[in-house]
Structure 1
Amino acid sequence: MEAFRMERFFERDNEIEVTGKEKGFLGSYYAARVIANMGDNYVVEYKELLEDDERTHCKETVMAHDVRPPHPNQTLPSGPRDYSSAKKKFGFGEQVDAYDNDGWWVGIVTGKKGGFCTVFFETTWDHIAYPVTHLRPHLEWRNGRWFPGKNRGRFVAENSYFSHELVECILDEKIEQEKVKKSEVQRDHEHHRMQSGWELKIVQSRTVWA
């Protein structure tokens, strides 16, 4: 068998992505940096994955063929309701990476509505709606170059599981959830503003009586 040939060497502190290959992590990518180059493998420190103490970044030794350069569009969403790039457009059947659980997961766009897309994950058979800001085009790193992901429109169109009614239901539920969250944030903000106003009035009142 021909020995594995590294397509690119990475040195200490290089930004990379690590491909998840273990059960439950297939089709996922995690941002990391190189701690040490060990030849056939690397010691890496993950950017988003934390230890149980929720403060220390996870470190791991990974095989060289599971490491690739950062995705050209590696910007992470700044928050769960980050709509700063809401003009992103993804087509039906397009392969995308969805940001979830501190990593990027490969999926297929099955529908879109109001700034959200439904994404189907073949490795888990999950079907979830995401803001478009939590998606990026899926790219494959081969022979030192980036290649676009396959269009799976035919697979989606020929599978009765992806009915229009189901996709609409998932999208509508997600949109409603986001409306509720937005309302809660606005209510909390208004409560904080009113509380700050009352505290200021109390301070001013004490100043006058003093």
Structure 2
Amino acid sequence: MRFLPGQEVEIASKEEGFLGSYYAAIIVTYIENEFYLVQYKELLKEDESGPLREVVQGVDIRPTPPAKSFPMAAGFTVLDRVDALYNDGWWTGMITGKEGSRFVVHFEDSGEELAFSDSEMRMHLEWINRNWIATTRRRILLPQKDS
């Protein structure tokens, strides 16, 4: 898939401690051999003088997930897989509980549990074969009782 200049995308982090997170960016230009120059929306240069620009491989880029194509009709609930906005990026986790109006999200990679409002979360979608696939609810199989 070729991304176009000006297109809003998300970039997968390859840095240790940030694996599995995605950061909003805009395609600046296609370079060659499936490399792109991108400009991050939230990440800044080290000296904080402006938005960070970086060359990334096409395999680390995905389109921005659709906001309204997969609505959460009943809202979020325990065991939903969600992306939570944390440290300027989207991190995948599972809702494990509620604290007042906030949802507790467990992040498997780090083992952390943090609380988020519903406005800081979105339904988790996977970008597979150029399609967004909903994988929100984890299926739990309970053992059958012997009759």
Q: TM-score, length-normalised on structure 1?
A: 0.60
Decide which of 4, 27, 30 is 1:34's aligned counterpart. 27
Cα pair 1:95 1:137 within 8 Å, conserved: yes
- Once residues 19 and 112 of structure 1 are traced to their aligned partners in structure 2, the CA distance between those partners, rounded to angstroms, is 28
Equivalent in the alignment of 1:48: 42
Structure of larger gyration radius: 1
Equivalent in the alignment of 2:52: 58
**What count of residue pairs does the alignment treat as equivalent?**
137
Question: Are positions 1:25 and 2:11 aligned together?
Answer: no
Task: Please give the secondary structure, in 2, of the residue aligned with 1:65.
Answer: helix
Tell me which amino acid in the other structure corresponds to 1:73: A
More strand by share: 2
Structure 1 residue runs without a partner (length 5+) = 1-7, 75-86, 156-210
Question: Are positions 1:95 and 2:73 aligned together?
Answer: no
Tell me which amino acid in the other structure corresponds to 2:91: W
Cα pair 2:123 2:136 within 8 Å, conserved: no
User: Structure 1 vs Structure 2: percent identity of aligned residues?
Assistant: 40
Q: Give the superposed CA RMSD.
A: 2.3
Q: TM-score, length-normalised on structure 2?
A: 0.84
Deviations 1:182-203 (A, max 9, x none): xxxxxxxxxxxxxxxxxxxxxx
Decide which of 68, 72, 77 is 2:66's aligned counterpart. 72
Structure 2 residue runs without a partner (length 5+) = 142-147
Equivalent in the alignment of 1:125: 111
Task: Please give the secondary structure, in 2, of the residue aligned with 1:10.
Answer: coil
Equivalent in the alignment of 1:147: 133
Tell me which amino acid in the other structure corresponds to 1:56: G
Cα pair 1:88 1:132 within 8 Å, conserved: no
Task: Please give the secondary structure, in 1, of the residue aligned with 2:59.
Answer: helix
- Once residues 140 and 110 of structure 2 are traced to their aligned partners in structure 1, the CA distance between those partners, rounded to angstroms, is 20
Cα pair 2:23 2:90 within 8 Å, conserved: yes
Quote how far apart the aligned CAs of 1:71 are: 1.5
Task: Please give the secondary structure, in 2, of the residue aligned with 1:58.
Answer: strand
More helix by share: 1
Cα pair 1:107 1:122 within 8 Å, conserved: yes
